Structure 1
């Protein structure tokens, strides 16, 4: 078996890439490696290499694609997240266990680079942060937190001369700075100015979401939420991010595109609807609120998930953490009351949107806080998927449409 294994140089030649790219594939879980005799060099399974080579068809080193293959989008392979059996995994690792032991920054860096050692601090580049704050200050008063994230991405891009460098390490460094810029460009609600050096993303995000003081448990709970929300497979915003990366858009543009898709009420903005529902339940009780939603033909926000039959593990973890916070008890009771009331006819479990809403209401955050937490966290996932897409054939993420309009030729319309 040892004689059949390939060296790094042989794999690079087969895939038509540099040896550094081979190691990038290993770090992102696309290839497995094993030390050769004496532990001096990595070796690779030739069958695994061949499978990866087939996935990379259409590259300059491969045979030309047929017209049919060029038009077909085909499946999108990813080694970032697996969802099965009411559980999900980042590169085969349980995110729930990760959230209990590792910070958001460490998990994001590991997903981008495969490096299990602590990465560099998440610090915003001075020029990008200044640009983001300047455009944020020019927004009208009604601009929301996620509005500020969107303009921050565009502003920070204009200040980054290397944004078009799509090499893996450069993209990871760009993402690190962008996430920090997102958080640091948001105005603080507690009246403070600046952040202590070395503060985590969660510690810096907390005072931008609420005026309540941040104790260590609160910051740890927010960090847990960030880890749990980094990725969730090929959701709408992630597919959008991959489509942009397939066109070789730079990381800022990839995240900007994904933010647009995430703003929908059925995706990133769903926690805001759940937030408003919970505040209503606290005032009027679960029965009238549930009845009102059903009578209006509206779905109950925060209940059910198409990928989980019994339990959304992300919601379960956040509910368990919030159960240890006395101030969260009334809001937790309201969330459980909604679930139990709806279960009479709609046996749907609580999802992560309801858990985020419970966190935001109990911490006196605005309704869009959950969407903001989601966007900051999911940026790490969008970048992980973009890194994969940058290694694929360009423009491969393309939906094949079927025309159903009137057959040509048709008479010219009378446009007067």
Structure 2
């Protein structure tokens, strides 16, 4: 079956004149081809249908919506966080300023309800029930699974361990501390506890006091980041009336992707390759040439002048390098990569640098990311549930036109 269209057929589907059709071709909006039997051009049916769908969608603002889905205009309203003028703000508070003194728990209650109620100080009676053998039995089923995989497996099961359902905003926030503490236990393979989360992480990794401070700051800086891919997934699931553990499982799934939470792992590979090479610059260039056009660990579309999270963490690392040769070498590689590619470090590179410099377990960067971001996910899930609106965008169909069944 010939799926090419004549000029008149294509113009009729597009609802334009022949002269406009020809202008589409000259402007590169529509391909054309020789018919083979005459001098008249033919037009691929699929390309015509796609252009017609775009024209129709543009009348309803669809093109703007498509652009918004790719680092474009905002598509949801939120009170939680904002990226503006090169700064990350949690309910109007600069995250970098908060990282100087706050814990992840403090950042969480700020994100959840502007600090009006400290859900973490209320205690978590359900924590003892979860720790009473259940979690250990679940984790024993996958002893070799990496941290994020363990978390993705455990989180949906937690719904049945909660005393009350978590489908309302208040119930979500009330269950938040317990879920974050269990998440930490799963990521760290340690019993759930009520010590500050950065202290639990530091103890599990054998980190000293200075490293514990870096862990604390990193958790605060990563607690939320507006409408990123994992947060959008969380909001979509929460908008259906699903439980908070189900929404968090969706966030973990999105975070596990190489293009999201896997950024620190890619940056780690770059650092290791450069450290092991007698010519670090060549190793860096070869690494980024192989993964082009993505620059793992460098630049961020929302921070044209540099990621403030990375700037904060790398600035804290610099004085420590005076007495730590490996850290000094890692920071030198970071500087070389930045200069070579004319790009600034992002949070992924800072996480990878800390992981390698201090001998933390492989994947520590993604574990910090997941634990920190859970605070933001809970805030977004509660906000979305409170809105009462289900997220259900429309798709633009660009396939074949209606046809009778063959």
Scaled by the length of structure 2, the TM-score of the pair is 0.75
- Give the aligned partner of residue 180 of structure 1: 181
Aligned mates of 1:229, 1:160 — CA distance in 2 = 27
Matched ranges for 1:36-115 at <5 A: 75-115=75-115
Deviations 1:264-323 (A, max 9, x none): 111111101111221222211421321222442433420110011122110011112222
Distance 1:401 1:186 in 2: 36
Residue number in structure 2 paired with 1:293? 287
Distance in 2, matches of 1:97 and 1:352, equals: 16
Output the CA distance in 2 between the equivalents of 1:341 and 1:389: 40
Instruction: Say whether 1:325 aligns with 2:320.
Output: yes
Look up the match of 2:16. none
Aligned to 2:269: 276
Q: Give unpaired runs (5+ residues) of structure 1.
A: 1-67
Is the partner of 1:101 in helix, strand or coil?
coil
The CA deviation at 1:341 is 4.2
| 2: CA distance, partners of 1:103 / 1:200 | 7
| Corresponding residue number in structure 2 for 1:361 | 356
> Are residue 394 (structure 1) and residue 376 (structure 2) matched?
no
1:199 to 177, 188, 195: 195
Aligned pair count reads 331
Matches within 5 A, 1:6-17: none
Q: CA RMSD in A?
A: 2.5
Shift of 1:146: 0.8
Q: State the partner residue of 1:51.
A: none
Q: Which consecutive unaligned segments of at least 5 residues does structure 2 have?
A: 1-59, 66-73
Rg larger in structure: 2
Residue 163 of structure 1 corresponds to 165
Contact 1:163 1:252 in 2 (8 A): no
Alpha-carbon separation, structure 2, partners of 1:341 and 1:257: 33
2:142 alignment counterpart: 139
For residues 97 and 171 of structure 1, do their structure 2 counterparts lie closer, same or farther at Cα, with a shift above 3 Å needed? same
The structural deviation recorded for 1:173 is 2.0
**Structure 1 position 251, deviation (Å):** 0.8
Q: Secondary structure at the match of 2:274?
A: helix
Q: Helix, strand or coil: the match of 1:126?
A: helix
Within 1, Cα distance between the matches of 2:285 and 2:188? 38
Identify the residue that residue 68 of structure 2 maps to in structure 1: none
- Matched residues in 2 for 1:272 and 1:376: separation? 16
State the alpha-carbon separation in 1 of the partners of residues 188 and 230 from structure 2.
25
Contact 1:271 1:302 in 2 (8 A): yes
Counterparts of 1:117 and 1:109, CA distance in 2: 7
Give the structure with the larger helix fraction.
2
- Residue 328 of structure 1 deviates from its aligned partner by 5.2
Looking at structure 1, the residues matched to 304 and 236 of structure 2 have their Cα atoms a distance apart, in angstroms, of: 29
